[in-house]
Amino acid sequence: MNILCIGAGYVGGPTMAMIALKCPEVKVTVVDINAARIAAWQSDSLPIYEPGLQEVVRACLGRNLFFSTDVDAAIAAADMIFVSVNTPTKTFGQGAGRAADLQYWEKTARQILANSKTDKIVVEKSTLPVRTAAAMQRILDSGGGDVKFEVLSNPEFLAEGTAIKDLQNPDRVLIGGHDTDAGRRAVAALVDVYAHWVPRERILTSNVWSSELSKLAANAFLAQRVSSINALSALCEATEADVCEVSRAIGMDSRIGAKFLNASVGFGGSCFKKDILNLVYLCETYGLTEVAAYWQQVVSMNDYQQDRFVRNMLSRMFNTVSGKRIALFGFAFKKDTGDTRESPAIRIARQLVEERAQVVISDPKALANAKVDLRDLGDRVQYESDPYAAAEGAHAIALMTEWDCYATLDYQRIYDRMMKPASFFDGRNRLDHAALYQIGFNVYGIGKTALSHL
Ligand code: UDX
Ligand code: UDX
């Protein structure tokens, strides 16, 4: 069998590498219009950082895993085509800022149609509005020829930083297909691919629309948990309750569960905001105003949490950060990734620059992306890979990303070289606050009472 994936991004690349690893008899090809990205996949420095990915790619590259920019030829040769091109939020016209921009998606559908001389199973890997498969099917059927296309939905639930682990051992694989003979055959073919390594009972099948909606729903529920605990973090700060204690107490209720209850400076990543806005837009389209407003609040709370963080910094630093050096520890939207898409650090850095602070950004993997995100700010922002150098002469450190490396720094050494009073704003509640306070820092966690010498 020949499997093709169109789109060699964070989703397409790792997913196809895992299929190639687990299915040695299948030839897997990944194509992308971005030639630099394809070249990077074939080199020793992959286009994305993901623990364990390099090893998987190295094991399969040139054996049964191939990367190419020749999209047309690859389509012609494929039996099953995963589509994993990006579906960003629309920036223009109707639904701007909320609806999914499906232009790459439709273009890809037409390209598949134009280059297919044999029947294909087309698998939606990208996250899409519910009922997109119907549009795709209509485009594919518009050729009027003998070639048959069957569209499946197979959303990806991997999280960045743990992509290889998630792919290797998924909680579940979801495959949506049509309830027709051809639909059932296509579903069975895809189930067989995953069954190479995923236990059958964890491979769920459903109708196409449920599958499409489940992806949006999963991300909305996860983000909602973060917004819920972040909402409570504000109340904790006002009442001397401790959000970590609250998380632990509610998380031990097996009905609630302990995961995704870490209060933070806010959620980021390419999916949560985009998918919720997409869900909101979809609800509005169907006239479900109250449902739309309910989910919109998850995003609004996330914006509020970031703005609140900066407001708190300002008030703790005598209502001015003008001219003060502030070191941001971490810029990625979470640890173990170089990805900065929708990272709360972007909004926070911009607001601090607006307040005329001298912002210095440090991150073990994300500095290159940070420079792109903030390029319009020019030299109003500095970038420094060494956290000790970043904090030198600073009035404050703000932890943006929970990288493990920040927990093991020599904070006495850092404190000694900072301006006084030295403040530490822990946007992830990752560090030992009592120890930092002991050294001399004023420590401000999320949803915690301030530890202040002032
Ligand atoms: C993307 C979407 O953002 C996400 O919603 C979806 O679930 C999966 O696809 P990701 O893999 O993180 O996620 O996106 P990205 O890293 O931007 O990769 C998409 C790739 O598709 C890019 O490399 C881009 O060059 C490529 N692409 C885009 C094409 O090959 N052809 C196109 O027409 C458009
Ligand atoms: C998410 C989904 O988890 C994944 O299933 C989907 O396929 C893509 O979107 P990802 O964006 O890679 O994955 O990261 P995730 O681990 O879900 O974290 C998202 C954001 O929430 C991060 O900024 C993270 O720091 C934040 N978060 C997460 C919290 O602030 N608190 C938590 O308790 C958990």
In tens, the pLDDT along 268-306 reads: 999 999 999 999 999 999 999 999 999 999 999 999 999
pLDDT tens track for 307-364: 999 999 999 999 999 999 999 999 999 999 999 999 999 999 999 999 999 999 999 9
Distance from residue 260's CA to the centre of ligand 2 (Å): 8
Report residue 297 CA to chain centroid gap.
19
Question: Cβ distance 334 to 268 under 8 Å?
Answer: yes
What pLDDT does 94 receive?
92
Question: Cβ distance 215 to 247 under 8 Å?
Answer: no
End-to-end CA distance of the chain: 68
Reading phi first (left if > 0) and then psi (alpha if -120 to 50, else beta), residue 188 is in alpha
What mean pLDDT do residues 132-150 have? 91
Is the pLDDT at 168 greater than 90? The verdict is yes
Closest CA to 351 of 381, 375, 371, 330: 381
pLDDT tens track for 232-278: 999 999 999 999 999 999 999 999 999 999 999 999 999 999 999 99
**Nearest residue (CA) to ligand 1, atom 31:** 33
pLDDT tens track for 94-128: 999 988 899 999 999 999 999 999 999 999 998 88
Given the candidates 3.40.190.150, 1.20.1050.10, 3.30.70.360, 3.40.50.720, the CATH classification of the domain at 242-454 is 3.40.50.720
Provide DSSP, 26-75. Answer: SEEEEE-S-HHHHHHHTSSS-SS--TTHHHHHHHHBTTTEEEES-HHHHH
pTM over 0.85: yes
CB 230 near ligand 2, within 6 Å: no
Give the position, in ligand 2's atom list, of the atom nearest the Cα of 218: 5
Distance from residue 397's CA to the centre of ligand 1 (Å): 34
What pLDDT does 424 receive?
98
What pLDDT does 144 receive?
83
Closest CA to 128 of 84, 171, 163, 160: 84
Pocket of ligand 1 from Cβ distances under 6 Å: 6-12, 32-34, 37, 84-87, 104, 107-108, 125-127, 156, 270
Is the pLDDT at 204 greater than 90? The verdict is yes
Question: Cβ distance 277 to 98 under 8 Å?
Answer: yes
* Whole-angstrom distance, CA of residue 90 vs CA of residue 169: 33
Give the position, in ligand 1's atom list, of the atom nearest the Cα of 271: 5
Architecture of the domain whose range is 2-206: 3-Layer(aba) Sandwich (3.40)
Q: Which ligand is nearest to the CA of 257?
A: 2
Give the position, in ligand 1's atom list, of the atom nearest the Cα of 11: 11
Element (H, E) at 411: helix 411-416
pLDDT tens track for 46-76: 999 899 999 999 999 999 999 999 999 999 9
Q: Catalytic residues, which ones? A: 271
Is the pLDDT at 190 greater than 90? The verdict is yes
What pLDDT does 128 receive?
87
Which residue in this structure is represented by tokens 């449920």?
A: 210
Residues of the chain with CATH 3.40.50.720: 2-206, 242-454
Closest CA to 14 of 64, 71, 52: 52
How far is CA 54 from each of CA 40, 96, 272, 300, 362, rounded to the nearest angstrom? 11, 37, 26, 37, 24
Question: Cβ distance 6 to 84 under 8 Å?
Answer: yes
Structure tokens at 309: 């963080």
Closest CA to 441 of 407, 415, 402, 414: 415
What mean pLDDT do residues 406-412 have? 98
Q: Provide, rounded to the nearest whole percent, the portion of the chain with pLDDT above 70.
A: 100
Distance from residue 84's CA to the centre of ligand 1 (Å): 6
* Whole-angstrom distance, CA of residue 339 vs CA of residue 369: 7
CB 150 near ligand 2, within 6 Å: no
CB 71 near ligand 2, within 6 Å: no
Q: What is the 3-state secondary structure (H, E, C) of 281-330?
A: HHHHHCCCHHHHHHHHHHHHHHHHHHHHHHHHHHHHCCCCCCCCEEEEEC
pLDDT tens track for 419-437: 999 999 999 999 999 999 9
Confidence band of 145 (pLDDT split at 50, 70, 90): confident
What pLDDT does 270 receive?
92
**Nearest residue (CA) to ligand 2, atom 34:** 260
Report residue 73 CA to chain centroid gap.
31
Distance from residue 33's CA to the centre of ligand 1 (Å): 10
Q: Which ligand is nearest to the CA of 159?
A: 2
Closest CA to 112 of 87, 88, 144, 82: 82
What pLDDT does 91 receive?
93
* Whole-angstrom distance, CA of residue 78 vs CA of residue 288: 40
Is the pLDDT at 130 greater than 90? The verdict is no
Helix (H, G, I), strand (E, B) or coil at 334: coil
What pLDDT does 143 receive?
85
How far is CA 351 from each of CA 132, 309, 328, 358, 381, rounded to the nearest angstrom? 37, 10, 13, 11, 12
Peptide bond into 47 cis (omega under 30): no
CB 158 near ligand 2, within 6 Å: yes
Distance from residue 178's CA to the centre of ligand 2 (Å): 31
Give 272's strand partners: none
Is the pLDDT at 85 greater than 90? The verdict is yes
What mean pLDDT do residues 399-411 have? 98
Question: What φ, ψ does residue 32 adopt, rounded to 5°?
Answer: -160, 150
Is the pLDDT at 451 greater than 90? The verdict is yes
What mean pLDDT do residues 196-210 have? 97
How far is CA 445 from each of CA 76, 243, 258, 399, 400, rounded to the nearest angstrom? 56, 10, 20, 10, 12
pLDDT tens track for 330-346: 999 999 999 999 999 99
Helix (H, G, I), strand (E, B) or coil at 107: helix
Name residues whose C-beta falls within 8 Å of residue 42's C-beta, 6 or more positions apart in sequence.
61, 67
Question: Cβ distance 236 to 243 under 8 Å?
Answer: yes
Q: Provide, rounded to the nearest whole percent, the portion of the chain with pLDDT above 90.
A: 94
Residue 403 DSSP class: -
Average pLDDT, the chain: 96
